[in-house]
């Protein structure tokens, strides 16, 4: 719905009514008969929204919605239903938006120059800020890729495609086991949450591989107990450290329980006893 009005100068403007407004139709018709400026009418409509709204306004809210504003092009009064619209909208419709806001400068007024593409020789315009960072200019990504491909072709002989069987075997010998620069003695640590010390993992021997992870590593304290009793440990059996230090894997510091339940009961009540002690 649109209401037509006249201001003090006799110029006509309109009010675009909102479906969410709480102002009664009688008050809207009374406002339509007032001859005043669009800004005054918009302020009066916002006061009416505060008066006739049934919900209390938040103590930190700047506006009550719908919020009425004046179009900067046609001086029409239009409603804003959200905070984003009230802050950003300056025009009542797309038809009032200027076709050329003037934010984009013409090409001859920008700071730059025309340069030739290093691959195909095509002349392209580039800004000075871009030319300061890139010494070689290209007209497209395709030309840039062709130039980089020529540079990579110079190093193709260094890739693994040019390796022989002897060079691959030599590389494997240099990178395996103790020859690898990242070798740490075949030991890795798994850090748990909290203030606990990390658990030590070592390479598992073939006869105890049933206890190992997929990568072939096993907890060192479980491996020591398995070697002491002469058999692999089952998944339910638990190894306990007497001094509660997970990195102190001396046999005299280790105990074996049949299950984690027996382990916890022994720590709290002293029974049942472990099935093996170092």
User: Tens digits of per-residue pLDDT, 147-204?
Assistant: 999 998 888 877 777 788 998 899 988 888 888 888 878 888 888 877 888 999 999 9
Sort 257 into a burial class: Cβ within 10 Å, 0-12 / 13-18 / 19+: buried
Q: What is the pLDDT of residues 124-160, one digit of tens each?
A: 999 999 999 988 999 999 999 999 999 988 888 777 7
Q: CA angle, corner 235, sides to 265 and 184, nearest 5?
A: 105
122 or 107, which is more confident? 122
**Closest residue by Cα to residue 112 from 88, 80, 134:** 134
Token couple for 54: 């049934």
Tokens at residue 134, please? 């890139």
6: nearest Cα among 28, 38, 49, 30? 38
Q: What is the pLDDT of residue 207?
A: 94
How far is the C-alpha of 71 from the C-alpha of 20, rounded, in Å?
19
pLDDT digits (tens, 9 = 90+) for 216-250: 999 999 999 999 999 999 999 999 999 999 999 99
- Whether 7 shows a pLDDT value over 60: the answer reads no
Q: Are 246 and 276 in contact (CB under 8 A)?
A: no
């Amino acid at each position: 719905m649109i209401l037509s009005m006249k201001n003090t100068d006799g110029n006509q403007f309109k009010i675009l009514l909102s479906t969410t407004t709480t102002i009664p139709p009688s008050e809207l018709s009374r406002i339509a008969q007032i001859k005043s400026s669009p800004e005054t009418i918009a302020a009066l409509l916002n006061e009416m929204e505060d008066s006739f709204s049934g919900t209390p306004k938040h103590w930190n809210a700047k506006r009550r919605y719908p919020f009425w504003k004046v179009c900067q092009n046609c001086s029409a009064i239009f409603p804003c239903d959200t905070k984003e619209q009230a802050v950003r909208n300056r025009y009542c419709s797309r038809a009032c938006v200027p076709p050329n806001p003037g934010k984009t400068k013409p090409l001859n007024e920008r700071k730059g120059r025309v340069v030739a593409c290093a691959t195909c020789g095509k002349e392209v315009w580039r800004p000075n800020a871009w030319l300061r960072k890139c010494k070689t200019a290209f007209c497209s990504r395709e030309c840039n890729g062709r130039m980089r491909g020529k540079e990579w072709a110079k190093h193709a002989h260094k890739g693994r495609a040019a390796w022989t069987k002897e060079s691959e075997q030599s590389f494997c010998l240099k990178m395996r086991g103790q020859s690898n620069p990242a070798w740490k003695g075949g030991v890795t640590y798994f850090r748990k949450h909290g203030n606990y010390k990390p658990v030590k993992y070592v390479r598992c021997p073939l006869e105890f591989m049933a206890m190992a992870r997929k990568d072939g590593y096993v907890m060192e304290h479980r491996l020591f107990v398995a070697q002491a009793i002469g058999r692999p440990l089952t998944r339910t059996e638990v190894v306990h450290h007497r001094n509660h230090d997970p990195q102190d894997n001396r046999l005299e510091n280790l105990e074996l329980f049949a299950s984690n339940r027996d382990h916890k009961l022994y720590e709290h009540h002293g029974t049942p006893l472990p099935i093996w002690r170092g």
